[in-house]
Chain A
Amino acid sequence: MLLDDKSVYLMRLGDNALVLSQRLSEWCGKGPAFEEDMALTNTALDLIGQARMWLSYAGEVEGRGRDEDALAFRRDAHEFTNLLLVEQPNGDYAHTLVRQFFFDVWHHLTLDALTRSADDRIADIASKAIKEVAYHLRRSSDLVVRLGDGSAESRRRMQDAVDALWMFTGEMFKADETEELLGAQGLACDPSTLKDAWLAMVREVFDEATLTVPAGEWMQKGGKQGRHGEHLGLLLAEMQFLQRAYPNASW
C-alpha cells in the first residue's frame, strides 16, 4: 500500500530531525562558547522546523487524524523511526560534532535528491530544508577540521568520537522495501545510492582534519524499524512528559 509507505518514509525524515533537534537543544547554555551555543541552538531550531513539516505531512498522508504534536508526543520509542545515529547522547563536544557531521553529509545528500521528488510537497519541503542543511554541513565540516587538526587533545577526542559513532553510520545506507519502492517511483531517495558520495565527502574532510576513517565493517541497525537503544526512551520521557501528564492540553 503506497500511502502507508509514503507516511512511513515521511515519518522517518521527521523523526531524524526531531530527535536530533532535541539532542542539540540539550546543549543550550552549556556550549563551549557563547557563539557556539547560539549556533547549536540555531541548528536545533532549523531541525525542529523541518520535523514539523515532515510530521505534519506524514500525519495527513496517514489519514488517522494525527497531527505533528500527536506524532511527536504520543508515540513511544518503538514507534519512532529515526536513525540510531541521531539518538546517541551528546557526550563531549567532539561526539556532538562528529554525530552532526555524519548526519549533515547524509542529510544534505538526501534532501538534494528529494528536491527532485515526483511529489511536489516533498520537493518543496526539501528545497526549504536544504538551505538550512547546507549551512549545518558547512559548519560541522569546518569544525571537524579545526578540532581534528587542532591540539593533540582535540584530535584525540575527535578520533575517539569517530570510532565510537562509526557503527551507527551503516544504517543510513541500508534501504528497506519502503525506500526501494518509493525510490523506484521517484518519490523518495533510495539511501543505498548515497553511500559512495557520503564516504567521499567524509574522507575528504577527514584527510584535512588528520582523522582516520575507521575500518570497521560491522554496523548497528534497527532505528528505522523502531528498534532503538536505551537512549531514546530516556530522551522521549523528558520530551513527552507534559503531554503525557496532561493529554490534549492546548499550548
Chain B
Amino acid sequence: MERKEWPLWEVFVRSRNGLDHKHCGSVHAPDAKLALQVARDVYTRRQEGVSIWVVEASNIVASDPDAKPELFDPAEDKIYRHPTFYQLPDKVNHM
C-alpha cells in the first residue's frame, strides 16, 4: 500500500493580545483542515482567543537571498526616502 506523503504547511499565530500573526513553525498534514487542528495542538495549546493561519508551503514565494543587495541596499543611503528625514509643521500631530 502506498502511503500518501503529507505536504508541509507554514503556521502563523496571533496570540490572544497580539496585533499580528507571527510565523511560529510548520506542520505536516494531508489538508488545510487537519493542518489547522495540528497547529492548534502543537503551537497554541488551545488557548482561547487566538487566530491561526496555515498556508501550504508551496504557496509561499520567498525573496532570493543572493539578490539582497539590489533588493534592500538602495534604501540605506537615500535618507530623503525616509519619512523621518522631513520636518513636519507643529500642527501635524500623531505622525
Contacts and interface: CB of A to CB of B under 8 A. Distances in A.
A and B are interacting partners: yes
Interface of A: 33-35, 38-39, 42, 135, 139, 142, 151, 153
Nearest to B39: A35
Residue of B1, B29, B34 most packed against chain A (CB within 10 A): B34
B49 to A, nearest CB: 13
Contacts of A38: 38, 41-42
**Main SS class of interface, A:** helix
B1 A35 contact: no
B37 A139 contact: yes
Contacts of B34: 35, 142
Contact of A42 (B6, B28, B41): B41
A38 B45 CA distance: 11
Contacts of A151: 1
Given A33-B28, A142-B33, 11 more contacts: A33-B6, A35-B6, A35-B34, A35-B38, A35-B41, A35-B42, A38-B41, A38-B42, A39-B41, A142-B34, A151-B1
A151 B4 CA distance: 11
A149 B11 CA distance: 28
Nearest to A135: B46
Interface string B1-17: 10000100000000000
A35 B28 contact: yes
Interface in B1-60: 1, 6, 27-29, 33-34, 37-38, 41-42, 46
Contact of A39 (B28, B33, B38): B38
Question: Which 9 A-B residue pairs are closest in the complex by CB-CB distance?
Answer: A35-B38, A38-B41, A42-B41, A39-B41, A38-B42, A35-B29, A35-B27, A139-B37, A35-B28
